[in-house]
Structure 1
Amino acid sequence: MAAAKTDHLERTAAEPRDKSLHTVTLAEVNEVNDQVRLFRLELSTPLRFLPGQWLDVYVPGVSKAGGYTITSSPSSAHPPISDDPSSPPCRPFLELAVQKSPDPPAAWLWQDPASITYAELRVRVGGSFVWPPPGVDTRTLRKAVFVAGGVGVNPLMSMLSSLAEEECPFEVQFLYSLRDEGGRRAQARRMLFVERLASIFASGRVRGRLRLFLTGGVGEGGEEGVVSCGIGEGKKCGVRFSRRRMTMEDVAAAVGDASERRFAVVYVCGVPTMTDEFVQKLADSQHGFGMEPHRVLCERWW
């Protein structure tokens, strides 16, 4: 007999979370594809959080909270005040990416957008999978490696967005594995955050590389290619992809040799089969890569 699936509050009972609930307005719903939607939650007052944290989300008529990672950077929830009186005020907001699911909070969010837009929700910030990495002096970092599987990209999107707003002095390697059902012509606009990630790297705001691993589509088995991404102002760029699963060898190559690992940090977020393998091998001093455990951070959501 299969064990009963735990809900978000049960899975995260030991995680830190704020005491207070905030009321937000669901201002906008955008469908990325038939499995993922983006939600813009407007705040009546600024709210502080760290990149990588999630929200307990209470939707109308559902007693238990859903758990969804904030995908926007903290600056979106605490925008600066403009000195220009003619400039319209920027409303503070949070962005969530929510995968389609029969779970009651997610099912509510997947109703007809017209029926839920402008509804009021209650949210609370929580989570310990955050940037900057606890116990690591970021002034000594030479490399940050982000490893995402599917919607595990969500907390890493917030982290990278935050780094792009600053003068990031170290190299960033971003490895992202996701399903692509689009056939041989990969469509970046239907892949969660691919164009946003490509824009950050193409702008030079972050120095490093974005690499995609596409699974589930036609031709999976090692085919290499380039997906064209719109990056704003009519500009396009190409991001290399491989039609296969990401491997430990890919992660190891991104992290670098022993001399580089001492000054690196790795964030892994995805399904447990992926996170467990990668984290164990990165931190294993006998049969793996011997990274200090506090330099290998992970979050499992399934």
Structure 2
Amino acid sequence: MTKQSHIERTANEPRDPSLHTITISCITEVTPTIRLFRLDISPNDSIKFLPGQWVDLYPPANANVPKPGGFTITSSPSLAQPSSSPPHHPATILARSPDGSGNQAQHVQHGYIELAIQASPLNPAAAYLFRPTPQLLHTQVRVRIGGSFTFPPPSLSEHVNASLRKVVFVAGGMGINPLMSMLSWLGEQGDDGRFDAEVRVLYSVKDPRGMNSSNGNDNVDGDGVVREGREILFLERIVELFKAPTRLKGGLRLFLTGSEGDRSGNDKNVVKCADGVEVPFMRRRMAVKDVEEALGCDKEDAVAYVCGVPAMTDEFVQALVSPGGFGMDEKRVLFEKWW
């Protein structure tokens, strides 16, 4: 059976008719197989999207990629709008004063969207985006906004959304991508006091120690194995969202898979972030019971977002909505499968 392309899988999803030309301005290597892209929006253009949506991404015509790739936007919609920026900021344009003289010029940061993309040699669009960085920087691609896996939940009324007591985000691997956009947007609402529900994040991902062991770098110190937050996609960003009391209230549970642990017995089961925060983790796969515990007795006033590989997503969603199981209202369990 031939694997469906992104366009074929999402044929029934809503799409904006507009195509936008944007510029690759920054590429960050998160791991050897994951890149973070910042794509600047032209000052003469504007892109609007909901937290959780994705883009059809069309590489340049000379790349010979016949179909667009589908990649989730990981930034908040607010960052797609231009904003003031210090003069030394690397991504600025010079705005002239109303009289055109430039005497009262100010620096304006480009609006942008962010994409986190995993290497996939069999996906032509992803393969293009894993060309050597110098070949990609400052080049242009085209994007179209699409998708219905968004926050606030489109399946619930505005009144019900306003009365939510808890939001539980469940991510497996790269399934964190749409949830990161939602979390970032919710953090902004918390800053302004517009969102007061409890937020729980359950994140299951491969142990970075396992990734490092292939190149002989075990990151060992006197306390045993050191796992660093920067090695896990968006971990430090999520931790930061929960640190400020005016932002998100709730917490994170981290699950690391694919590790046998430190044979010396010194492994502390924590990931160390750049600011000194230590994030504890469970050395196992996330289970349905973990999600049910996070929802607790609030399932009538909560929503759950699940995003991961198809087998995981199907298992979790079915268990949550099953009348003989956890019994949540189907409208309160939203999901997207990461292929």
Instruction: Report the equivalent of 1:177.
Output: 204
Contact 1:283 1:291 in 2 (8 A): yes
Question: C-alpha displacement at 1:149, in angstroms?
Answer: 0.3
1:87 and 1:236 map into 2 onto residues whose CA distance is 36
Question: C-alpha displacement at 1:80, in angstroms?
Answer: 4.7
1:135 and 1:108 map into 2 onto residues whose CA distance is 36
Instruction: Report the equivalent of 2:141.
Output: 121
Structure 1, gaps ≥5 residues long: none
Of 69, 72, 77, the residue aligned with 1:69 is 72
Secondary structure of the residue aligned to 1:276 is: helix
Contact 1:275 1:298 in 2 (8 A): yes
What amino acid is the match of 2:309?
V
Query: CA deviation digits over 1:135-188, x for unaligned, max 9?
Result: 322211000000000000000000000000012210000000000141542221
Indicate whether 1:284 and 2:322 are aligned.
Answer: yes
Secondary structure of the residue aligned to 2:149 is: coil
State which drifts further: 72-81 or 187-196. 72-81
**TM-score, L = length of structure 2:** 0.82
Task: For 1:221-236, list aligned pairs within 5 A.
Answer: 225-230=269-274, 235-236=275-276
Instruction: Report the equivalent of 1:188.
Output: 229
Contact 1:65 1:105 in 2 (8 A): yes
Indicate whether 1:106 and 2:130 are aligned.
Answer: no
Secondary structure of the residue aligned to 2:189 is: coil
Task: For 1:1-302, list aligned pairs within 5 A.
Answer: 3-44=1-42, 45-60=45-60, 61=63, 62-80=65-83, 88-102=107-121, 103-136=123-156, 137-167=160-190, 168-182=195-209, 184-204=225-245, 205-219=247-261, 225-230=269-274, 235-257=275-297, 260-285=298-323, 287-302=324-339
What amino acid is the match of 1:5?
K
1:239 and 1:87 map into 2 onto residues whose CA distance is 41
Secondary structure of the residue aligned to 1:281 is: helix
Give 1 or 2 for the bigger CA radius of gyration. Answer: 2
Secondary structure of the residue aligned to 2:227 is: coil
What amino acid is the match of 2:228?
Q
Shift of the 270–224 alpha-carbon distance from structure 1 to 2, 3 Å rule, reads farther
State which drifts further: 121-130 or 55-64. 55-64
Contact 1:148 1:176 in 2 (8 A): yes
Q: Percent identity?
A: 51
Contact 1:181 1:218 in 2 (8 A): no
Query: CA deviation digits over 1:64-103, x for unaligned, max 9?
Result: 1000000000001024568x96752021000000000111
Contact 1:181 1:216 in 2 (8 A): no
Shift of the 38–6 alpha-carbon distance from structure 1 to 2, 3 Å rule, reads same
Structure 2, gaps ≥5 residues long: 86-96, 98-103, 211-224
2:268 and 2:154 map into 1 onto residues whose CA distance is 36
Secondary structure of the residue aligned to 1:208 is: strand
1:11 and 1:135 map into 2 onto residues whose CA distance is 21
Contact 1:224 1:241 in 2 (8 A): no
Once superposed, what is the RMSD of the aligned Cα atoms? 1.7
What amino acid is the match of 1:166?
Q
Contact 1:224 1:242 in 2 (8 A): no
Shift of the 145–262 alpha-carbon distance from structure 1 to 2, 3 Å rule, reads same
1:128 and 1:207 map into 2 onto residues whose CA distance is 26
1:155 and 1:224 map into 2 onto residues whose CA distance is 30
